[in-house]
């Protein structure tokens, strides 16, 4: 792909969801009602296709396409390396007015990682595309930072949403090191190159500086959210709390209660919908199945190792006793 380094090449796969849905429908009808039912279905679909074509010729949104992406976020937002490639591909080929649907699942994580992920979604808005984010399970903290960029946020009734706050925690081993007569030394240039530390002794000034940095990050988070969702009452929602879908709707954290499946099916009724997936390009060994074979052989050897060791030990004892 375009922006991936040569050492980690990726490949993009595209699935036409309308076509996949038709194939499943045909298979189910044939299994349950026979080939006659398929003929009737084809007639209805042809009639419907003519009507859609006629309506689209009159519509201002002619030939609108919908692209579906998935983002499953970990603490580092490492999925952004694929997301940026998928977004670049869409921007290069989509028309203004086309829609991008992000199925987003993330409890949040590192600020800089999710800041970059949210900035990637902003690129879609800047390109004149409509952005919809669907949350089936959770979009909290950094996950909500991404979601708030959308023109429309759709959440399942029990999806976890919000947590507009910042948290940082770390252990301190200073007393343990002191107890075991271990000295810890740190050298810095600049008054605030380091504030709190895991191994040194932290004082009130260190803690106050670190707390002020946390507060500053929270202010940036709140500013970002209000930029894209000015309808929010920050005094109520920027407390670090999270809410389930129905309460999130009342607080205007989301716009609609609906599952991603239901929404995508509704878009398929009158639009061509494509799902994009980018993944690490398999090596030659992986293509030939050598990697899986090696893993299976290693697992087999590992499983047999205890018995083999027991046999060796048994033979050794027999020799000693003779």
Q: How far apart are CA 82 and CA 4, in angstroms?
A: 9
Domain identity same for 207 and 126: no
SS3 161: strand
Instruction: Provide the whole-model pTM.
Output: 0.77
Same domain for 176 and 158, yes or no, is no
For residue 124, being part of any structural domain is answered with yes
- Asked if residue 4 is part of any domain, the answer here is no
* In a domain? residue 2: no
Flag whether 113 is in a domain. yes
Active centre residues (catalytic): 141, 193
Residue 42 has pLDDT above 70, yes or no: no
Given a contact cutoff of 8 angstroms between Cβ atoms, the answer to whether 86 and 12 are in contact is yes
CA pair distance 83, 102, nearest whole angstrom: 10
Task: Count structural domains, the chain.
Answer: 3
Give 306 or 109, the one with higher predicted confidence. Answer: 109
The CATH number of the domain holding residue 135 is 3.90.226.10
Would the pLDDT of 306 be above 70?
yes
Would 104 be classed as within a structural domain? yes
What percentage of the chain carries pLDDT values higher than 70?
82
Tell me the three state secondary structure of residue 173.
coil
Residues 211 and 104 grouped into a single domain: no
Domain co-membership, 253 together with 180:
no
With cut-offs at 50, 70 and 90, classify the pLDDT of residue 300.
confident
User: CA–CA separation, 15 vs 7, rounded Å?
Assistant: 26
Residue span of the structural domain in which 215 resides: 167-225
92 and 154 fall within a common domain: yes
């Amino acid at each position: 792909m375009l922006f991936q380094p040569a050492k980690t090449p990726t490949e993009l796969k595209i699935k036409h969801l309308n076509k996949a849905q038709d194939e499943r429908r045909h298979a189910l009808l044939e299994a349950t009602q026979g080939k006659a039912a398929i003929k009737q279905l084809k007639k209805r679909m042809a009639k419907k296709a003519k009507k859609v074509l006629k309506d689209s010729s009159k519509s201002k949104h002619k030939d609108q396409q919908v692209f579906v992406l998935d983002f499953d976020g970990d603490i580092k937002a490492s999925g952004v390396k694929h997301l940026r490639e998928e977004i670049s591909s869409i921007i290069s080929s989509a028309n203004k007015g086309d829609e991008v649907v992000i199925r987003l699942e993330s409890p949040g994580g590192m600020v800089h990682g999710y800041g970059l992920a949210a900035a990637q979604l902003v690129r879609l808005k800047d390109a004149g595309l409509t952005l919809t984010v669907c949350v089936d399970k959770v979009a909290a903290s950094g996950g909500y930072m991404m979601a708030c960029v959308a023109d429309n946020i759709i959440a399942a009734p029990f999806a976890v949403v919000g947590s507009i706050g910042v948290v940082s925690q770390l252990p301190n081993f200073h007393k343990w090191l002191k107890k075991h007569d271990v000295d810890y030394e740190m050298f810095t240039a600049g008054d605030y190159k380091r504030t709190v530390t895991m191994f040194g002794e932290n004082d009130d000034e260190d803690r106050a500086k670190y707390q002020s940095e946390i507060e500053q990050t929270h202010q940036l988070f709140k500013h970002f959210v209000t930029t894209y969702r000015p309808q929010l009452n920050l005094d109520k929602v920027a407390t670090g709390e999270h809410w389930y879908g129905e309460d999130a709707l009342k607080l205007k954290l989301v716009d609609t209660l609906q599952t991603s499946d239901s929404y995508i099916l509704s878009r398929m009724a009158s639009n061509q919908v494509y799902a994009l997936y980018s993944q690490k390009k398999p090596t030659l060994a992986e293509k030939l199945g050598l990697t899986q074979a090696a893993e299976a052989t290693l697992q087999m050897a590992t499983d047999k190792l205890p018995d083999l060791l027991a046999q060796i030990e048994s033979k050794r004892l027999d020799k000693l006793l003779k």
